[in-house]
Amino acid sequence: MNSIASSQDMNQGSEPFQVSLERFEGPLDLLLHLIRSQDIDIFDIPIARITEQFVSALSDGLETMPIERAGEFLEMASSLVRIKAQLLLPRPEQPDWDEDPRAELVRRLLEYEHFQDVVHVLEGAEAQRGRHFAKGFVESRPAPTLAPVELELTLAEFLAAAARIPEPLPPVEFRPPSQTVTVAEKVSLLRRLLAKAKRVSFDRLFRPWGTRAHAIAALLAALELARQQVLRIEQVKPFASIWLLPGERKRAGDPPEATESAEGIA
């Protein structure tokens, strides 16, 4: 026993070993710290002293610990007490190491310490790996790119589409119920517009009125005329503008249109 150890031995009675439980992963970590920091021979652990220090370390902080974690420390404390009791029993003059009550504890401590060395190796490897950078780590644009997600449209398209959604009308505004709109009205509006232009924006059919009823009527009118092949509906990509173009079939009474497709069919 060297002099440092003996001086600690003298102190330990009056001055409890100060440790903060939070620092330790678990009971083995704490126990190993108590042994290594006092330069104790791990093959000859003074169980009574270590048990006392272990229990006094638990006295602070055990109550604030999650119960499962506290249980782990208490289990170790009870093992230590049991070993201490076993050591007090009469034993053969030349005991085998295998029969020493401390043997299993020492095995676990050494195994645990072994893996602490592996942890240091891993920490070193992690730090070293952290010094290598892959491409793409320095962003060239201020906007962070989103994680790759399978999407049919881009963020820009989505935002642009969202921006086009009209503000909901204030609910306080009173509209007489007589001002509803019929699909027939939209059909005739659509026919008039198509007569004047080569293509009509779908928005044009309801945006000026700004109500859901107009939008629904316009949609039904467009779909009906598309079904009759009076017009074609085109949209280049999701959320792009919807365009209505003259279809292949002209109804009698429809003003003729001088479009290339019309000529081709004629």
Residues 23-82 that bind other proteins (CB under 8 A): 25-29, 41, 43-49, 52, 68-69, 72, 76
The residue from 33, 108, 191, 199 that contacts other proteins (CB under 8 A) is 108
Q: Is 256 in the site for other proteins (CB under 8 A)?
A: no
Q: Which residues of 122-141 are buried (b: 16+ CB within 10 A; e: fewer)?
A: eeeeeeeeeeeeeeeeeeee
Residue 43 beta carbon to other proteins: minimum distance, rounded to whole angstroms: 5
Count of positions on this chain that bind other proteins (CB under 8 A): 60
Tokens of 178: 């007589």
Q: Is 100 in the site for other proteins (CB under 8 A)?
A: yes
Nearer to other proteins, 109 or 231 (CB): 109
Nearer to other proteins, 136 or 208 (CB): 136
The residue from 11, 37, 85, 110 that contacts other proteins (CB under 8 A) is 110
Q: What angle do CA 57, 59, 65 make, to 5 degrees?
A: 95
Residue 128 beta carbon to other proteins: minimum distance, rounded to whole angstroms: 6
Residues 122-181 that bind other proteins (CB under 8 A): 122-123, 125-126, 128-139, 144
Q: Hey, is 36 helix, strand or coil?
A: helix
Cα 30–chain centre separation: 33
Residue 57 beta carbon to other proteins: minimum distance, rounded to whole angstroms: 15
- Stretch in the footprint of other proteins (CB under 8 A) among 57-65, 119-127, 153-161, 196-204: 119-127
Please give the single-letter amino acid code of residue 98: D
Cβ burial of 257 (10 Å; 0-12, 13-18, 19+) is middle
Q: How far apart are CA 240 and CA 234, in angstroms?
A: 10
Nearer to other proteins, 55 or 103 (CB): 103
Residue 261 beta carbon to other proteins: minimum distance, rounded to whole angstroms: 44
Nearer to other proteins, 109 or 244 (CB): 109
Is residue 169 within 8 Å of residue 211, measured between CB atoms? yes
> Token match 């903060």: residue?
20
- Stretch in the footprint of other proteins (CB under 8 A) among 97-105, 166-174, 220-228, 247-255: 97-105
Give the residues lining the site for other proteins (CB under 8 A).
1, 9, 25-29, 41, 43-49, 52, 68-69, 72, 76, 87, 93-98, 100, 103, 106-108, 110-119, 121-123, 125-126, 128-139, 144
